[in-house]
Structure 1
Amino acid sequence: MRDHNFHAEMNARHLWHPFAHPGEMRDVPPKVIASASGVRITDDAGHETIDAVGGLWCVNLGYSCDPIKEAIAAQLASLPYYSAFKGTTNGPAIELSVELARILGEDGMARAFLTSGGSDSVDTALKLARQYHKLRGEAGRTKFIALRKGYHGTHFGGGSVNGNTAFRAPYEPLLPGVFHVPSPYGYRNPFDEEDPERLARLCLRALEEEIAFQDPSTVAAFIMESVQGAGGVIVPHESYMPGVREICDRHGVLLISDEVITGFGRAGAVSGARLWGVQPDMMTCAKAITSGYFPMGAVMASERVAEAFEGKGGAMVPTGYTYSGHPVGCAAALACLAETERLALWDCARDLGPRLLAGLEGLRRHEAVGDVRGQGLMAAVEIVSDRDARTADPARAGRIFEAAYRAGAMVRWSGANLVCSPPLTIEAEDVDRVVAALDEGLSEAA
């Protein structure tokens, strides 16, 4: 590998980074991560930190999971690729579908459509939702409703249901027939309501009013994250998602739970929907399905959805990806899910999450901290320049991010939010070190 100076000089000459300004990447080169072990990463200048980002919400098993690496190597040696399109498939794809149905059976999930990642999964789920209604004789159900601040990937469909203007505006006009309602975001919402339970009721009423306004017979699905991730770790009141389920049932609207971040343990349960006691109609999965070791995803469907495709009058699924059911990805996922279950990583997130959140709550003594939110091992600290006015301060958040990195923790800088989503294999003392690094960063940035 070339040295640090080469990377710094050449980084943005030919490489465009996701969600980054090319000029900024030339002027302020990003950290070049050269190696990783356990929950720690080392950049090409030799600086080691705790990875409190988990890669990108995904490296739940840390960087030293030999069973996944061995499964990938063994599969590459026997069958590195074959198509899963009509007429052919492979053993790992079949085995993975069985395992996913078993693990997510309590969530009502019974069928798997395999993809290359989260964005693929979301777009596929949106298409399957429209096709489901057509197969049932309700071709007029084409609209989608989603949450403001929601994030559902970068494909055209997922970008359309995204609830963050910054991610949508450069590509508009997007998919027609998509509408957004307020999210249960206690720190910032149009109702000026801070009580979580009352806020949930107001948001549910807004959803029902939007469905009525659009005409229920035209709405295909409501898509939501069980805990909003990229929007700033927005944790709903426990009554919110069950209320969504009841509204969707009453109006014949499918509920798609986007579990790309929360699936397989991060929120402290096998799925985020299970955390709230809800069975959705479809789930989108990715990230932790292979702990980030291989690009992989899945759309899970309930028996009710499956019946429309498999029963009398059913139809083919006319979508797919070259790497759907990739044997290496499926082998990686099988090994990953086995380790995830063996270590009960959802219990690790459930048990250590309160420690992380309590540590971050202690940072409120810094004037720059406006809000702290979290669920399981996903948390956010929102940075402000004025507490009373709640004025978001992305620039200061950036300075804190840099200082925390120097102090030994890589966190995610997203607008005014500093997000923590460490590997679920992290130990208590490293959780404390992440909090200490943020504390130091806040002090330095003040």
Structure 2
Amino acid sequence: MWHPFADMSAVAGHDFVISSGQGAHVIGADGRRYLDSTAALWYCNVGHGRTEMADAAAAQMNLIASYSSFGDYATQSTLDLADRLAALSGLTDAKVFFTSGGSDAVDTALKMITRYWSLMGEPKRTRIIARERSYHGMHVAGTSLGGIPANREGHGDPDPKVQNVTWDDAEALAAEIDAIGAENVAAFFCEPVIGAGGVYPPPDGYLARVRDICKERGVLLVADEVISGYGRTGSMFASQRWDLQPDLMLTAKGLTSGYLPMGAVLVSGQVAEPFWNTPGLIWRHGYTYSGHATAAAVASVNLDIMEREQLVDRVADLAPVLSAALNPLAAHSHVAAVRTVGLLGAVQLRPDVIKEDPTIGARLVRAAREQGVLTRWLADGGLQVSPPFVITREDLHSMGRAFDEALSAVGSARADSARLQVDLLPDTTTDEAGGFGSSDARLRADVPPHHVA
């Protein structure tokens, strides 16, 4: 097996096999139980081992596994899910275009946007702007769009129609649009919370300013919520938490909690209008598995579980617990910063430490695994944290202790005054940022709370 994002010279013949899972834990082929601190790859929001999801898949397959959604064909499970997502999105007169995953959603949005502007009589609007550190999937267009240079290495020059701007300065976006000419800019792509690029919450006021800049200049705003969507930040969508008001939202991962592959582009009525109301127009785009019936049935049950168990509210309640579990790690000599928002987090190492020992990331991940916690190394040099929403307070603190031991195992010294917080915090605990905490003072921001008590 050729593993994605792997050094095959080291991995080949040494597969770490996962045999089963339950809740926030998985069982390895070695029989050991591990805490899944990343919800696999950011996606298993409702936790592992949900037989209700398997039952939904079997029931749909016993009717019909799937059917093409091209032309006027549809299955009821797909129609029902589309209606539900449109209502959840908060977008005015929303329409839903299904894909096979997040990378497909990005490419779909790119094609939809350029086609939209041509239909609107502005075919020169082909330029796309995104942020440094951003991740927008691994298809050719998304790789060029993303702001992680290592992901483009060896693949030639990025698409010249794409420009990356500083991730934390909204005025850099305004300046770039003005330099290109707003009449040439189609859209700005934005992860409300940067994910694979290092888990960077938006600085205070950034998203509101981005929203206003795009509206003032007539540029479409695309929120890439493949990671942040479906509750990860303590709101159903991060765009709602920060009142981003995007024209399109890109979703996947938590849509099905990874039980089956599926993505969805949630489109405002304004953008959908020329596609829906131009007689004779056929937008020649779609995927074999767009609107897969079984995936749709599983997604609906996934949303049922989230609603029934109030998992979005649970994320909001657990956010300060995650901060309390991770923030003391900032006292380690190797650690540059700790960032958390909702149930997202990163423990970032100092660049000089990584430069001196390029193997430290792999060693740190292995050391955490030896402590019984599964994690992974992020693009900017840190540990990823994005656990299932069903994780307990005790497990969050256990994770913090495991990372503490793992850091020590790779040579990081902990300040004598540092002590991991192990007291369980009451549900009502919030921090000054309305639910996210960070050891990086620049990111401590007065953002809107993600739920109302």
Q: Shift of residue 391 of structure 1? A: 6.1
Q: TM-score, length-normalised on structure 1?
A: 0.89
**Does residue 172 of the first structure (1) align with residue 137 of the second (2)?**
no
Q: 1:114 aligns with which of 83, 86, 98?
A: 98
How big is each residue's C-alpha offset from its partner over 1:86-137, in whole Å with a ceiling of 9 and x where there is no partner?
1311111111100101111x24461000010000001001111111111110
User: For residues 385 and 183 of structure 1, do their structure 2 counterparts lie closer, same or farther at Cα, with a shift above 3 Å needed?
Assistant: closer
Residues 1:107 and 1:349: Cα distance change in structure 2 (over 3 Å): farther
Distance 2:87 2:342 in 1: 23
Instruction: State whether structure 2 residue 12 is matched by structure 1 residue 19.
Output: no
CA pair 394-227 structure 1, distance change in 2 beyond 3 A: farther
Aligned-partner SS, 1:144: strand
**Residue type of the partner of 2:294?**
V
Partner of 1:213: 179
Residue of structure 2 in register with 1:413 after alignment: 377
Amino acid of the structure 2 residue aligned with 1:362: P
Cα RMSD between the aligned structures? 1.7
How far apart in 1 are the matches of 2:356 and 2:64? 51
Query: How far has the Cα of 1:397 moved from its partner?
Result: 2.9
CA shift in 2, pair 1:394/1:229, >3 Å: farther
Residue number in structure 1 paired with 2:347:
381
Instruction: Work out whether residues 91 and 267 of structure 2, in 8 Å CA contact, stay in contact via their aligned partners in 1.
Output: no
Q: Which residues of 2 match residues 394-433 of structure 1 at below 5 A? A: 394-415=358-379, 416-433=381-398
Q: Which amino acid aligns with 1:371?
A: A
In structure 2, the residue matched to 1:93 is 78
Question: What letter matches 1:424 in structure 2?
Answer: F
How many residue pairs end up in the alignment?
A: 410
| TM-score of the two chains, using structure 2 as the length reference | 0.87
Residues 60, 422 of structure 1: 8 Å contact kept = yes
Q: 1:63 to 1:92 in 2, by over 3 A?
A: same
Cα displacement string for residues 295-324 of structure 1 (whole angstroms, at most 9, x for unaligned residues): 000001011112222235783221000000
Alignment correspondent of 2:210? 244
Work out the percentage of aligned pairs sharing the same amino acid.
40
Moved more, 112-121 or 60-69: 60-69
Q: Give the deviation of 1:270 after TM superposition.
A: 0.6
Match of 1:3 in 2: none
Q: Counterparts in 2 of 1:94-173, with a 5 A limit?
A: 94-104=79-89, 106-108=90-92, 110-173=94-157
Q: Decide which of 34, 38, 58 is 1:49's aligned counterpart.
A: 34
More helix by share: 1
Q: Give the deviation of 1:21 after TM superposition.
A: 2.4
Where 1:412 maps in the other structure, the secondary structure is: coil
Tell me which residue corresponds to 1:72: 57
Distance across 2 between alignment mates of 1:125 and 1:392:
40
Amino acid aligned to 2:261: P
In structure 1, C-alpha distance between the alignment counterparts of 2:182 and 2:175, rounded to whole Å: 10
What is residue 283 of structure 1 aligned with on the other side?
249
1:402 is aligned with what amino acid? R
TM-superposed deviation, 1:394: 4.9
Tell me if structure 1 keeps the 8 A contact 2:147–2:164.
yes
Secondary structure at the counterpart of residue 305 of structure 1: helix
Q: Which runs of 4+ in 1 moved over 4 A?
A: 390-394
8 Å Cα contact 1:108/1:279 also seen in 2 = no
1:414 match: secondary structure: coil
Q: Structure 1 residues 138, 175: closer, same or farther in 2, change over 3 A? A: same
Task: Give the gaps of 5 or more residues in structure 2.
Answer: 412-453
Aligned to 1:260: 226
What's 1:335 paired with? 301
Q: Do the aligned partners of 1:371 and 1:382 also contact (CA within 8 Å) in 2?
A: yes
Cα displacement (A) at 1:30: 3.8
| Aligned position for 1:303 | 269
Cα distance between partner residues in 1 of 2:183 and 2:403: 49
Cα gap change, 1:177 to 1:71, in 2 (>3 Å): same
Cα–Cα, structure 1 residues 107 and 344, in superposed 2: closer, same or farther, change >3 Å?
A: farther
Match of 1:363 among 309, 323, 329: 329
**Aligned residue in 1 for 2:167:** 183
